Amino acid sequence: MTTISTTGTIMVDFWANWCGPCLMLSPILDEIATENKVTLVKIDVEAEPDLAQQYNVSSLPTVIIIRDGQILSTLVGSRPRSEYEKYL
């Protein structure tokens, strides 16, 4: 079983090629990660279905914010940029 673990804060973006909102959100998450100096991990749910299942991802896009290995927030659906930044 693959897991996501690291020290510090990471944003995990669960997405798929066929998900329009995912594709629109991707560059926004790139900017947020760069500006806030956090690690962004992008997980294609079609390539990593077990990992998506492990993190209970049932809708796309889903962004999970993890700090020092602990899940802080799970944001489902496309949201305003400020909401993602609020949880960092």
For residues 50 and 34, what is the distance between their CA atoms, to the nearest angstrom? Answer: 28
- In angstroms, the CA 78 to CA 12 distance is 14
Quote the pLDDT of residue 7: 77
The residues annotated with a catalytic role in the active site are 19, 22
Q: Which CATH architecture has domain 9-86?
A: 3-Layer(aba) Sandwich (3.40)
- Asked if 31 contacts 74 with a C-beta cutoff of 8 angstroms, the reply is no
Cβ–Cβ < 8 Å for 70, 12: no
Cβ-contact 4, 41 below 8 angstroms: yes
Record the pTM: 0.90
The predicted-structure confidence for 28-74, as pLDDT tens digits, reads as follows: 999 999 999 999 999 999 999 999 999 999 999 999 999 988 999 99
Q: How far apart are CA 43 and CA 52, in angstroms?
A: 8
DSSP, collapsed to helix, strand or coil, labels residue 67 as strand
Residues 67-82 have pLDDT tens digits of 988 999 999 999 999 9
